[in-house]
Chains A and B, each alone.
Chain A
Amino acid sequence: MRLGSAATIAAGAAVLAACAALQPSPRDAALALMQRDFHAEGIAGMDRLKEDDVQAACNEYGNNPPAELDAKLRAKQYAGVKWPADGKLMGDWKSGEKIAQRGRGMTWRDKPHQTSRGEPNGGGCYNCHQIGPDTTSFGTIGPSLYQFGKLRGYGTEIQRYAYSKIYNAKAYSVCSQMPRFGHAQALTEAQIKDLTALLMDPASPVNSR
């Protein structure tokens, strides 16, 4: 009886193990369900559900990847930043303000970015950040950028930081919630220059008032 019982238990355990192996993990089940229950719409294709290396690391490690992987990914993202060919990092802060205000772009209802039919995308910056002194309906998901240049200095290094941070925030913090506007081709080089000017031009109200 003892033996029998042990055998039963062993057999039961084997079945359970087999079941566990067959049972997909919650993550695999979620991926399969999303694959089945989303559909491409407008410019938002099913490819958007696929993680790239950065997204995969943040998903796997709860937005806190091990230091070594984190450093590797950051370096790779930074290396992908495309610097302006003319070497100028600053555009027009007035146009930057409009880009910061505008939240449109990249959803399934939007047209492709800056095609003949589509209007230019916005950065939606005010959704998360305080920036200029005149807009008080700003979000608080990101830090205040008011007086960005005034507080940090107007030097080239800070300009490069601002430009590359907007281009690819993951070059500095792998699991930052900030989109990679240049990397994702959500904003053009000229637009990122305009945003850099909004933050860094001493004449921009961000710094002058």
Chain B
Amino acid sequence: MQQTRRSVIKAGGALGLLAVLGSALLRPGRALAAWNTSAFGAKSAVDAMKALGMTNAEDSKDIAIRAPDIAENGAVVPIDITSNIAGTRSISVFIEKNPFPYTGTFDFPEGTVPYVHLRAKLGKSTPVRVVAAAGGKFYTTAKEVKVTIGGCGG
């Protein structure tokens, strides 16, 4: 994780579109890690990954994404992610067709199961891409989620 974060800092020089909100919040235990303004401001998943230093991610079957094939409502799409790759230190999520695809990074210190449940907004049908960081390397997989228009609100 520390490695990832350092490369992030190196890569993330320029403050992008969202500079105004990147109040560089520091957190206990992660003194070097600031909220990555340029990654979060990137308009494509590829650019966001570059800003995060996540290059050469390798396709992996050892990351499980559980999300609906068709979301009932794009405003709240439940996503469960588990990495079965030994030594997974973080999981990052990219909703490829959202205006700002990078959705977040979840860090797992030693002793925390590399699993997270989250709920995200999907503007339209899109692949949800996950990158796991383990042993200084990156592994990736994606799942397609379709978004529909429903009825009158149940």
Using a CB–CB distance below 8 Å, which chain A residues touch chain B?
A: 127, 137, 139
| Per-position binary interface string of chain B over residues 117-154, scored 1 when its CB falls under 8 Å from any chain A CB and 0 otherwise | 00000000000000000000000000000001111000
Question: Could you tell me the distance between the alpha carbons of A23 and B148 in the complex, rounded to whole angstroms?
Answer: 50
**B18 CB, min distance to chain A CBs, angstroms:** 34
**B91 CB, min distance to chain A CBs, angstroms:** 32
Q: Which residues of B contact A127 (CB under 8 A)?
A: 151
How many residue-residue contacts, CB under 8 A, span A and B? 5
Q: Which residues of B contact A137 (CB under 8 A)?
A: 148-150
Q: Which residues of A contact B149 (CB under 8 A)?
A: 137
The secondary-structure label for the interface of chain A is loop
Q: Which residues of B contact A139 (CB under 8 A)?
A: 151
The secondary-structure label for the interface of chain B is loop
Instruction: Report, nearest first, the 5 A-B pairs whose CB atoms are least far apart.
Output: A137-B148, A137-B149, A137-B150, A139-B151, A127-B151
Question: Could you tell me the distance between the alpha carbons of A137 and B149 in the complex, rounded to whole angstroms?
Answer: 7
**B85 CB, min distance to chain A CBs, angstroms:** 37
Using a CB–CB distance below 8 Å, which chain B residues touch chain A?
A: 148-151
**A171 CB, min distance to chain B CBs, angstroms:** 28
Question: Could you tell me the distance between the alpha carbons of A137 and B148 in the complex, rounded to whole angstroms?
Answer: 7
Question: Could you tell me the distance between the alpha carbons of A59 and B151 in the complex, rounded to whole angstroms?
Answer: 26
Question: Could you tell me the distance between the alpha carbons of A139 and B148 in the complex, rounded to whole angstroms?
Answer: 13
- Considering the complex, give the chain A residue whose CB is closest to the CB of B149: A137
**A103 CB, min distance to chain B CBs, angstroms:** 9
- Considering the complex, give the chain B residue whose CB is closest to the CB of A126: B149
5 residue pairs from A and B, CB less than 8 Å apart: A127-B151, A137-B148, A137-B149, A137-B150, A139-B151
Question: Could you tell me the distance between the alpha carbons of A139 and B150 in the complex, rounded to whole angstroms?
Answer: 10
**A66 CB, min distance to chain B CBs, angstroms:** 34
Question: Could you tell me the distance between the alpha carbons of A139 and B151 in the complex, rounded to whole angstroms?
Answer: 9
- Considering the complex, give the chain A residue whose CB is closest to the CB of B150: A137
- Considering the complex, give the chain A residue whose CB is closest to the CB of B70: A137
Question: Could you tell me the distance between the alpha carbons of A127 and B149 in the complex, rounded to whole angstroms?
Answer: 11
**B140 CB, min distance to chain A CBs, angstroms:** 30
Q: Which residues of A contact B148 (CB under 8 A)?
A: 137
- Considering the complex, give the chain B residue whose CB is closest to the CB of A139: B151
Q: Which residues of A contact B150 (CB under 8 A)?
A: 137
**A75 CB, min distance to chain B CBs, angstroms:** 35
Q: Which residues of A contact B151 (CB under 8 A)?
A: 127, 139
Question: Could you tell me the distance between the alpha carbons of A137 and B151 in the complex, rounded to whole angstroms?
Answer: 9
Question: Could you tell me the distance between the alpha carbons of A202 and B149 in the complex, rounded to whole angstroms?
Answer: 28
Question: Could you tell me the distance between the alpha carbons of A31 and B148 in the complex, rounded to whole angstroms?
Answer: 39
**A9 CB, min distance to chain B CBs, angstroms:** 54
